[in-house]
Amino acid sequence: MSRKAVLATISLPIDERSVQPGVNIERALKLIDELSPWKPDLVVLPEEIDVLFGIPYEESRKMGETVPGGPIQQKFKEAAVKCNTNLVLSIREREGKHVYNTSIVIDRQGRYIGKYRKTHLAPSEEVDVSPGDSYPVFELDFGTIGITVCMELHYPEIWTILALQGADVIVHPTAAIDYTGSLNESLINARAIDNQIYVVTSHYVKMPYLAGNPMGHSRIVDPYGRTRADTGHRPGVAVAAVDLDESYEYWATGETKKKYPTLKECFLGMRRPETYGILARPDSENKWKIKAPVLYNNGE
């Protein structure tokens, strides 16, 4: 069987204009429009494009709109229709006294499909952003997607939960502005390989790139952990045509090959969840903490 899909990711610049309201939103809308000739089935944007980089944290606390609904979402619904694509939009959500880091799924008809609230917050977020508590997947016309956001790259459990629910693609909006080499890249590759899924990650970027400056690297990664397309260290888009049913074929033969035709059956089908109880244990019962960590910067 073969299920072809065209996946696209966007890299947005961070510069002196990024602190101006609406600038990143308009840049994103322009890039979505430029993607139209590729006829993408999915477009992924970086994390919280409505939150202005460089403004006082107290100001960012005031941001957010109702989900579903709200003027920012309306703009991207119109963009999805114009580009004839499904879209993952990451913005700040406000619900009563709570704010969430929320990723919204919009289909080709501009319809709201659902949302994912970031569950594992970064240290700078947990002051006043509320965490989500569920891991939904979203069935779209080309396949099923799951969502993880930024910090959640470091929690492989989430990725496996999404894969077990049938995610063909896991998208990863992030506010990372840097390349980080073996940190981000290796982890993204590992998540794709372990779960035998495609990963679409979307970053920010500082321009121009000079040695020592952070640089973005939005990528589309396949189940082999290979980069199918990337934006390089600059703003723009990356597009890749993939087969969602392509997986790493297992090299066994005979009855073993029938049982485990690909590594997806191996990696997910041979799990032993009955032995994983420690993962759900409260931290008070675990022994992972460093008793006397060596620190070169005490935070003062």
Q: Mark whether 32 and 77 lie in a shared domain.
A: yes
pLDDT category of residue 197 using cuts at 50, 70 and 90: very high
Provide the pairing of β-strand 219-221 with 198-202.
antiparallel
Q: 77-91, 102-116, 163-177, 281-295: lowest mean pLDDT where?
A: 281-295
Range of the domain at 283: 252-289
DSSP 150: G
Q: Mark whether 37 and 62 lie in a shared domain.
A: yes
Nearest to 102 by CA among 124, 125, 85: 125
Across 119-132, average pLDDT: 91
Q: In this structure, what token pair is assigned to residue 121?
A: 């917050």
The pLDDT of residue 275 is 97
The most confident of 204-208, 214-218, 234-238, by mean pLDDT = 234-238
Q: Mark whether 134 and 275 lie in a shared domain.
A: no
pLDDT 10s digits, 224-255: 999 999 998 889 999 999 999 988 899 999 99
179 pLDDT higher than 70:
no
Q: Mark whether 152 and 263 lie in a shared domain.
A: no
On whether residue 62 sits in a domain, the answer given is yes
**In the beta sheet, which residues pair with residue 198?**
169
| Block residue for tokens 């321009």 | 207
Domains: count for the chain: 2
Q: Mark whether 241 and 271 lie in a shared domain.
A: no
Q: Mark whether 176 and 273 lie in a shared domain.
A: no
Across 42-58, average pLDDT: 79
Q: How buried is 134 (Cβ within 10 angstroms: 0-12 exposed, 13-18 middle, 19+ buried)?
A: exposed
The pLDDT of residue 205 is 86
Provide the pairing of β-strand 42-44 with 4-14.
parallel
The answer to whether residues 50 and 92 touch, using CB atoms and an 8 Å cutoff, is yes
The pLDDT of residue 173 is 96
Q: Mark whether 64 and 187 lie in a shared domain.
A: yes
Q: Mark whether 95 and 229 lie in a shared domain.
A: yes
The answer to whether residues 105 and 88 touch, using CB atoms and an 8 Å cutoff, is yes
What is the C-alpha R_g of the chain?
20
Q: 273: how many CB neighbours lie within 10 A of its CB? A: 9
CA distance 189 to 6: 19
Nearest to 234 by CA among 207, 214, 203: 207
Q: Distance between alpha carbon 238 and the CA centroid of its chain, in Å?
A: 15
On whether residue 151 sits in a domain, the answer given is yes
On whether residue 261 sits in a domain, the answer given is yes
On whether residue 300 sits in a domain, the answer given is no
Q: 79-83, 150-154, 240-244, 284-288: lowest mean pLDDT where?
A: 284-288
Q: Mark whether 232 and 256 lie in a shared domain.
A: no
The pLDDT of residue 63 is 79
Q: Mark whether 30 and 132 lie in a shared domain.
A: yes
Q: 94: how many CB neighbours lie within 10 A of its CB? A: 17
Q: Mark whether 218 and 282 lie in a shared domain.
A: no
On whether residue 224 sits in a domain, the answer given is yes
Q: Mark whether 267 and 238 lie in a shared domain.
A: no
| Block residue for tokens 């969840």 | 273
On whether residue 297 sits in a domain, the answer given is no
CA dihedral 161, 162, 168, 173 (to 10 degrees): -130
The pLDDT > 70 percentage for the chain reads: 91
Nearest to 160 by CA among 133, 182, 135: 135
Amino acid letter, residue 275: T
Q: In this structure, what token pair is assigned to residue 183?
A: 């940190």
pLDDT category of residue 296 using cuts at 50, 70 and 90: confident
pLDDT 10s digits, 52-110: 665 556 666 677 899 999 999 999 999 999 999 999 999 999 999 899 999 999 999 99
CA distance 155 to 135: 13
> What is the number of residues in the chain?
300
Q: 98-107, 182-191, 211-220: lowest mean pLDDT where?
A: 211-220
Amino acid letter, residue 84: N
Q: What CATH code is carried by the domain that includes residue 192?
A: 3.60.110.10
On whether residue 296 sits in a domain, the answer given is no
